[in-house]
Chain A
Amino acid sequence: MNIRTLAWKNLLRRKSRALFTGLGIFLGIGTFVALATLTGRMEHAVQDKLDRFGANILVVPRTDQLSLGFGDISLAGAQVAHAKLTMSNEKEIRSIPMKDRLRSVVPFFLTAADASGKDLVWMGLPPVEIPSARPWWKASGSAALGKDEVLLGSEAAALLDKGPGGTVTSGGKTFRVAGVLRPTGEKEDGMVIADLRDVESLAKNPGAVTFFEVAALCKNCPVEDIVEQIGNALPGARVSAIRQVVESRKAAVDQFRRLGVGVSAVVLAIGGLMVFVTVMGSVQERTREIGVLRAVGFRRRAILSLLFWETGWISLLASAGGAGAGVAVATLASPLFGIARAGVSLPPAFLGVGIGTALGLLGAIPPARKAAALAPTEAIRTL
């Protein structure tokens, strides 16, 4: 017989009270682990989806803005490019140390050119990249580009009075209109979109690139690192993270995390309170027993130790059970949240067991102190 076995035997004697005490922790930790696991998986899922939804890094030629004027009179400005981008730069971008993180590197070429007698901006990009570079494009007709085909922005189509199946001529070449994009609110509404090589030919500038859009998978890496590496690979280019995209992704993911932390904190607080109330009740109920232990020579520390062992056993078992239940619930509930990725995530479970045990012990501190302060005369007084 030692303090641990005494604590264990007392728990077995008061099974329903032990179960009730453990229930709070079980539910608290179960909820915490389920939410932490689910939000963790949702973070991954959301980040995955966001990473696949457009680019987050822009690569343009480095330029200096020159101001032209005389005294206080400003006449105009001019951009002086240090270097031009070409298709060969794509290989350099794809050679950075974090190349595995690059999902897509899409070259764009912009030029102003005639379109059936109207001056419009032509945007060229590889047709195969359209679904990943502009997944939000919806079109009447087709959003895919075939040979000698163009897509028209909604405003451009209205200006040219063309629809799917119509034709647009430029530079002596006739293009079939594959589709008309629905309004996006972006500049491409007024553009003609065509195969990159066709637009380069119209501009008589083969191999030229106006900018690259890079989509980097940045779940566990700062996008700034990739920006820096691309900048080092292309000294003549200005590489920048599209802050708005990065920040909005972060915000979306953080919202999930905050929700999980908030709900878990509330449930855990309730669990801690349940431990406090039940252990305090147990101390009240066992005044005489504790008095007897004090009378036969238990020091205050031994009483504290007894109650902490009791609560520790309950907390540990309830936390472990709660963590297991939480993982099971998260796994079963994952499909309901659109999370396909299965697999047990152990860190939240281990963290839950630690938190639950600590919470139980923390909740037991005030009642244990009260018990330790009981006078041994209680053993006689309650006779």
Chain B
Amino acid sequence: MDPFIRLDDVSMVYGGNGMRSEALRGVSLPVERGEYVVITGESGAGKSTLLAILGALQLPTSGTVRIGGADLVSLSPDRLADVRRETIGFVFQAYNLLPYLSARENVTVPMAPARMSPREKAARADALLAAVGLSGKERRLPSELSGGECQRVAIARALVYDPPILLADEPTGNLDSATGEQILDLFTALHGRGKTVLMVTHNRTILPRATRSVRLRDGRVAADERLAV
């Protein structure tokens, strides 16, 4: 059976005319459903590019990317948007919340184009905020929340369509260690509920929580280990 996520010989080249930079060089990476993959590597190793390709934010220069059987390279930009919305939840290091919206409204943003009643959207957002421990803070603006709370809002937003895949780009990078641990607990809990988690990080202390570690170096997979949980 095919893996849930499959990258075959994926390369990504930026620039041209003498400014050519190879971010990824022939990366092949199969990921099974329910895995918790931690992607590590030095700065410039290609981690964020790999995550952007896995998250359907970017298409590779060459190679194939399949998620749940769909070949992302062959999809139109709008179909890629559908994949991002329904299949992938993305958590950014800097949260990327809209500063003029409350926590509840930020969580409902992905549902804005959907034909659902406002009440239904709000109820779903409130349930997700409660699930990440933010009950009672639905009306607060990001500026009124701590970094950890903002990241929880971002996680709730990522879960709004209950996607099977969660991608996280340094989700604890802007947080103190105690708050970072709480966020990692949240990811562990989500993985426990069957989500496939792929997390880019410099923080190797996360490794014990993961089922697999992939280390990149110079755009190539330098190490790919299964971890005992």
Contacts and interface: CB of A to CB of B under 8 A. Distances in A.
B62 interface: no
Contacts of A383: 92-94
B35 interface: no
B112 A2 contact: yes
Interface residues of B, number: 35
Contacts of B52: 377, 380
A13 B100 contact: yes
Interface in A291-307: 292-302, 305
B212 interface: no
Which of A9, A10, A296, A301 is packed against the most chain B CB atoms within 10 Å?
A296
B81 interface: yes
Nearest to B125: A1
A375 B57 contact: yes
B84 interface: yes
Interface string A12-31: 11000000000000000000
Interface in B93-110: 93-94, 96, 98-101, 105, 108-110
Contact of A300 (B57, B77, B109): B77
A296 B55 CA distance: 10
Contacts of B57: 294-295, 375-377, 379-380
A6 B112 contact: yes
Nearest to B173: A383
Nearest to B160: A296
Contact of A293 (B48, B82, B109, B158): B109
B4 interface: no
B100 to A, nearest CB: 4
Interface size class of A (residues with CB under 8 A): 20 to 34
Contact of B92 (A293, A375, A379): A379
A377 B98 CA distance: 17
A45 interface: no
A297 B84 contact: yes
Contact of B82 (A1, A297, A377): A297
B100 A10 contact: yes
Contacts, number: 90
B87 to A, nearest CB: 9
A18 B98 CA distance: 18
Interface in B126-170: 157-158, 161, 169
Contact of B105 (A1, A297, A301, A379): A1
Contact of A302 (B84, B92, B96, B113): B113
Interface class of chain B by DSSP: helix
B44 interface: no
A289 interface: yes
A144 B161 CA distance: 93
A297 B110 contact: yes
A302 B94 contact: no
B78 interface: yes
Interface in B14-60: 48, 52, 55, 57-58
A10 B78 CA distance: 24
A1 B78 contact: no
Nearest to A7: B112
Interface string B61-94: 0000000000000000110011011100010111
A295 B97 CA distance: 12
B208 interface: no
B111 interface: yes
A25 to B, nearest CB: 23
Given A295-B55, A295-B84, A383-B93, A9 B100 contact: yes
Contacts of B58: 375-377
Given A383-B93, A383-B94, A1 B113 contact: no
A380 to B, nearest CB: 6
Nearest to A1: B108
Contacts of B84: 294-297, 376
B3 interface: no
Contacts of B105: 1, 9
A375 B109 CA distance: 18
B195 interface: no
A294 to B, nearest CB: 7
Interface of B: 48, 52, 55, 57-58, 77-78, 81-82, 84-86, 90, 92-94, 96, 98-101, 105, 108-113, 118, 121-122, 157-158, 161, 169
Top 10 A-B pairs ranked by shortest CB distance?
A297-B85, A13-B100, A1-B108, A302-B113, A296-B110, A376-B57, A292-B96, A299-B81, A299-B78, A297-B84
Given A299-B78, A300-B81, 17 more contacts: A1-B105, A1-B109, A2-B113, A3-B113, A6-B101, A6-B109, A12-B100, A13-B100, A289-B98, A293-B109, A295-B84, A295-B90, A296-B109, A375-B57, A377-B52, A379-B96, A383-B92
25 contacts: A2-B112, A2-B118, A6-B101, A6-B109, A6-B112, A9-B105, A10-B100, A13-B99, A292-B98, A293-B109, A295-B55, A296-B84, A296-B90, A297-B84, A298-B81, A298-B85, A298-B113, A299-B82, A301-B78, A375-B58, A376-B57, A376-B58, A377-B57, A377-B58, A380-B92
